[in-house]
Structure 1
Amino acid sequence: MSSASQILERESELVRIATALDEAAAGSGRVIVIEGAAGIGKTALVREARELARRRGYGRLQAIGDETETPLAWGVVRQMVERSISRYSGEVRDAILAGPAGRALQALDVAPASGASDAEVARTLHALWWVAIDLSSTRPLLITVDDAQWSDQPSLRFLGYLARRIADLPIALVVATRPPSGGSGPLTELTVSPYVERLLPEPLSPVAVAAFHTPDGVVPCAAVVEAMHAACGGNPFLTGALLDELGSAGHDVSHPATAEAISGLGPATISRAMLSRLSPEALALAGAAAVLGFEASPWLAGRVAEVPPDALPEAVASLVRANVLVGGVDGLTFVHPVIREATVSALGPLQCSAMHARTVRELHAREVPAAQLAPHLLAAPVGTLADAAELLARAAAESAAAGDA
């Protein structure tokens, strides 16, 4: 993908993150919330935080909020734990499960459901807090949550609980989110907490946009830079996506006349343009991945998209080449939420509903938990499953803690 050679105009944010990590390593826990619009560079800062922590010998837990998993109570916390052990097997995995990670999963397995009292929820929060303490007992710990605006409510409560209790612990918590909506709730409380340092990345200046270049190193001329900045508003992700589209359309970004081709383009247009050059199979697969959510199984996505098995590998490869998706056999993830949202928009309501219906049938056949099935069932046509009412009632019982908490 077109890019600049480095993360641009984020020097102050990187210094503050590095300082927070150094202070946490010395035993003074720190909490940072990175807040901004889609594409402004929050994910890049989270990635830099993880790299800075790796160099400092930190243990690292991470999770990414996903819109389709928002109803799953404790889903983000569970993701942190499961991601930390999924790459291991055999005796190593057994040893990990015998330690704090295993205790975290045990706490989540008995986490309160519908009708839980505050005391029951507090016990789960406290148990998870002790797991974090144990994980940070041998080396400092960094916990990162990206796209926190899509996190489930109990997990957000845990992040707030942790944020208030790590001042004397070698733990750094970094949460990236779009601006919270609604004016209340655990995410809003976290972003305005006195325990939290907020980072608000600004749009890039035209000088920074001028540092972008095409994959083959061509730097846009001044007129094109000005037009790109006007079209993308200094949004780093959309700037790179626009530069990609100009190159794919055969425009010479070093020529001033190319500025005229940019006139009138905006974020939605840029994202849709990225999808317009995909094959029908690849576009359908992208749609299925958008419906399925974070780290969608390519095999399941292929069945939902009705892509023939022999065409699936090339469809996945083309989406990776087009910088729409990353990943492969282990799971497919959109390069950026903006592209995912554009993909859903490109599907249209009828096709999207049909994909949710196929997802419901596939997941139901695999006997997944009702709470995992419910978001797709609600978006599918009435009559998709005969026992829909029973499944939705069961899902409410499994995840009502999200609303109660």
Structure 2
Amino acid sequence: MITLLGREREVAELEGLVDRIRERGDALVVRGAPGIGKSALLAVAAARAEAYKVMVSSASGVQSETHLPFAGLHQLLRPMLGSADQLPARQREALLGAFGMAEVSDPEPFLVALAVLNLLGEAAVHRPLLVVVDDVQWLDRPTTEVLAFVARRVRSDPIVLLMGLRDGYPTSLDGSDVPELRLAGLDAAAAEELLDAHAAELSAGLRRRVLSEAAGNPLALVELPLAMDTGAVTTEAGLLPLTARLERAFAIRLAELPPHTRGLLLVAAADDGHDLAHTLAGGAMVAGAELTAEALAPAVDAGLVELHEQALRFRHPLVRSAIYQKAGRTDRLAAHAALARVHGHDPDRRAWHRAAAIAQRDESVAAELEGVAARARQRGAIPVAVTALRRAAEVSEEPTAGALRLLAAAELAFELGRGDQAAELLALAEPSVLGELPGARVVWLSEVLGEGRNDGPARIRRLVTTAETAEAAGDRQLALNFVQAAALRCWWSDPGWEQRRRVIALAERLAAGANDPELLITLATAAPVERGADVVERLIEVRDARLDGAMTRLLGVAASTVGAFDLVGDFLDASIADLRAQGRLGLLTRALSTQVWRQIFCGDWAGALLVAEEAERLARETAQPRRQASALGMLGLLAGLRGEEARGLALAAEGERVLGTVAVSSPVAVLLQHARGVIALCAGRHDEAFEHLWRLFEPGDAAHHLIWRQWVISELAEAAVAAGRQEPARRAVAELEQVAALTPSPLLHVGLRHARALLADDADAEALYQDALSADLSSWPTARARLLLAHGMWLRRRRRIQEARVPLRAARDAFDVLGLLAWGEKARQELRAAGEASDLRVPPAAEQLTSQELHIARLAASGLSNREIGQQLYLSHRTVSTHLYRAFPKLGITARAQLRDVLGDTSRD
């Protein structure tokens, strides 16, 4: 192809992907300016695939189809839908529901994405599959989000996904880890060769001008000479952007076409498809006369369009936009009005064309667009629903109706994770025309959009007042939302007992019962000390109750908030399984974040690493920067505990970058401070560790947190003793002793027993160590190992060498099992100082696996099939199989049945 002159390197890269498709999958975005050759490169890859008998599935975005939910995905998958029956029931229902082919009670976009991944994987079982998607920037957003999901997960399947994307258009692929091939202009020699092949007769002056203005763009090198022949490119045109000059070059040919041909081209440009029959029908309505395909012959001869059987396609997308922009406003309105009648059988297409055909507000059109939004939401295409509601608001005749539609659009945008878009829509809604309850909804959305801000007691008072308003208006759920938001702000920054008591009183009045999960989470966050005993008691009462994943997640968070991490798993294990099955990845990410702390405090460090990595990945995919920053902080802390100081600090820094401008008093910022303290402590930098951790205890410091400080008291005490700063640590312990008298928080009491012993005088220390070690620490193996280490160190420093070796050995062995390398090395150093050498730790076989391999192996050891594992981790079953295939040799096993034995305790859920 002549447009591929000078593209030898890019052609080789794409052909190489196809050549390796049987060995491994891949994904690649081919990005560049209009006319730079993206489509030609994709065509080369497709031709190579067909020559190798590789199956090719393709789709292309159309600018006027961006508002049709899953239109691009349906185009891509149409040949494979016959295999949808092989998908798991929930995935099949989600996929067919997305295409409007089945009713879906509760659509989840990520179930659609997983269904697509599995459908492509099944197709690739028979033959390797090349998926080519051009003009991604014009696909509907639900489709691009599915493609981004799939692109991150095809590495282990014989699938290559190639996507062409025009510069300057934001998509779901931006900022992803999908590799890109960026196309620049042709070099001088290739540009000259291409120009000479198409316009060898140009004068020297025009030739220099074309080469200069085209800047190596292949389409410009072909089209600008033709435009110059007709006078379309003037000196003034040369000042326009290249895209605009190319559009003008195409548009100039329209003037030479017959009126009926121009009318047909405008209808085709305004339509959201390629159907020739629709174009002819719409053109006939505009012209008032019967038209046939013959009327398009002049446009074909002019090189503007191509006819393929019953399809009309523009030679280049810029031709479509040139025709549409060149037309007058009246002509465009007429074309859309005709298309609205042509698509009368399709309510979505009809509504969009009606909306484009009016020059004034029209309530009937607004109502139709509201119907479009409802259907899009039912299919899981929330971005389309947001767009439809916004347009409905624009054409609403009544200000109140328009404001309500904007509010509904803002709520959906927030649900989608697009806080910026939600804030913009909310700003457009006029609050003065809304009633009491819609006004409360505006306040609620403003609250959650400003979640990271800390405005102190005044904001909590406003939230409680608005909750009371919602309660009086009869909207209990909205009132509960406000109460929970107020409680959460009490957790961030203590507004005083009076404010917190008001929040609790309202929560108890609204509660469905004493054990209502929404009440328990409110009590736990608003009064974790004062009502901690009530919360723990009620959690024990309800832990065998049958609740859905969202409710059990609340109970798990409530348990963690009051420091009962030993109870967290009773709720979160079931919640996580439920949320995975439902495809509710936003809530799943939150549940995983809480699960990590349970695993950290209760000693499942291998599991904590796996879950934190999954939480970080899902937080990125679901656009939850606070959750992503939290997961990065957890990963940093875990790296520090394994002695990987540099990596831990890098992860904490990345967490701060992701957190960005969110208020530094948020719990995520506190978590990052905690992580930095633990990293420094494990690296032996005790002064620095104390400084980081002390900030959690220092009133007035941005990192001060009344509850979180309870969880790090043992680390603070350890850093204080090593740094010679016992006195401030003793003051902190004294303060927490008063807290401990009010709450049974298990983690607080475990930490205090440790800290008392560390900070005690010699006369009291022995009894305090014995008291701490005699407590039931079966649920706290890490705390027990650290306590043994501290006791052994205390004994050795008092020259009780023989006695010291016993707890030091036990600590070393416990740390080795837990995988806490930094503390394990410290125990070995202490043993050496006590005159006893230790063998080097022999890493268990499981530590030879990557995180993904270990996660999959653990699930396989629990008895799940590859398909079940794939559904849990949102991977194809072939990817699961590949990871197990790689894991078996590392573990020294040959059969799945051996996994439980070789993994041992690491197979715990």
Question: TM-score when scaled to structure 1?
Answer: 0.81
Query: What amino acid maps onto 2:32 in structure 1?
Result: G
Of 256, 259, 273, the match for 2:252: 273
Task: Give 1:385 shift.
Answer: 8.7
Structure 2 matches for 1:99-114, cutoff 5 A?
A: 99=83, 107-111=94-98
**Maintained 8 Å contact 1:228/1:239:** yes
Q: What's the % identity of the aligned pairs?
A: 25
Q: Structure 1 unaligned runs (5+)? A: 85-95, 252-257
**Maintained 8 Å contact 1:10/1:201:** no
**Structure 1 match to 2:404:** none
**Structure 2 match to 1:93:** none
Name the CA distance, whole Å, in 2 between partners of 1:197 and 1:144: 15
Q: Structure 2 unaligned runs (5+)? A: 384-411, 417-909
**Structure 1 match to 2:52:** 56
Of 6, 24, 41, the match for 1:45: 41
1:35 aligns with 2:13: no
Task: Give 1:290 shift.
Answer: 0.3
Higher Cα Rg, which structure: 2
Task: Give 1:396 shift.
Answer: 0.7
Query: What amino acid maps onto 1:232 in structure 2?
Result: A
**Structure 2 match to 1:91:** none
**Maintained 8 Å contact 2:3/2:218:** no
Structure 1 pair 303–162 and aligned structure 2 pair: CA distance change class (3 A): same
1:201 aligns with 2:187: no
C-alpha deviations, 1:228-255, integer Å up to 9, x for none? Answer: 12233322112212233456x499xxxx
C-alpha deviations, 1:129-177, integer Å up to 9, x for none? Answer: 1100011001110111111111112111111111111111100000111
Question: TM-score when scaled to structure 2?
Answer: 0.38
**Structure 2 match to 1:290:** 269
**Maintained 8 Å contact 2:277/2:310:** no
**Maintained 8 Å contact 1:271/1:339:** yes
Name the CA distance, whole Å, in 2 between partners of 1:387 and 1:262: 42
Structure 1 pair 216–207 and aligned structure 2 pair: CA distance change class (3 A): closer
Name the CA distance, whole Å, in 1 between partners of 2:26 and 2:247: 36
RCO comparison, higher one (Cα < 8 Å, 6+): 1
**Structure 2 match to 1:9:** 6
1:349 aligns with 2:307: no
Corresponding residue SS for 1:186: coil
Q: Which structure carries more strand by proportion?
A: 1
**Maintained 8 Å contact 2:92/2:115:** no
Name the CA distance, whole Å, in 1 between partners of 2:291 and 2:197: 28
Structure 1 pair 393–262 and aligned structure 2 pair: CA distance change class (3 A): closer
Name the CA distance, whole Å, in 2 between partners of 1:107 and 1:7: 41
Q: Which structure carries more helix by proportion?
A: 2
Name the CA distance, whole Å, in 2 between partners of 1:36 and 1:327: 27
Query: What amino acid maps onto 1:177 in structure 2?
Result: L
1:378 aligns with 2:355: yes
Structure 2 matches for 1:114-263, cutoff 5 A?
A: 120-181=108-169, 186-188=172-174, 192-194=175-177, 196-212=178-194, 218=200, 220=202, 222-246=204-228, 249=230
Structure 2 matches for 1:303-318, cutoff 5 A?
A: 303-305=281-283, 306-307=286-287, 311-318=291-298
Name the CA distance, whole Å, in 2 between partners of 1:146 and 1:360: 27
**Structure 1 match to 2:65:** 69
Corresponding residue SS for 1:35: strand
Task: Give 1:109 shift.
Answer: 2.6
**Structure 1 match to 2:310:** 330
Name the CA distance, whole Å, in 1 between partners of 2:323 and 2:105: 38
1:18 aligns with 2:15: yes
Name the CA distance, whole Å, in 1 between partners of 2:84 and 2:134: 23
C-alpha deviations, 1:36-85, integer Å up to 9, x for none? Answer: 11111111111111111111211111111112211111111101123x4x
C-alpha deviations, 1:101-148, integer Å up to 9, x for none? Answer: 99799753313999986x822222111111000110011101111111
Structure 1 pair 386–402 and aligned structure 2 pair: CA distance change class (3 A): closer
Corresponding residue SS for 1:12: helix
**Maintained 8 Å contact 1:34/1:174:** yes
Query: What amino acid maps onto 2:180 in structure 1?
Result: R
Q: Give RMSD over aligned pairs.
A: 3.4
**Maintained 8 Å contact 2:261/2:298:** yes
Name the CA distance, whole Å, in 2 between partners of 1:97 and 1:132: 10
Corresponding residue SS for 1:25: coil
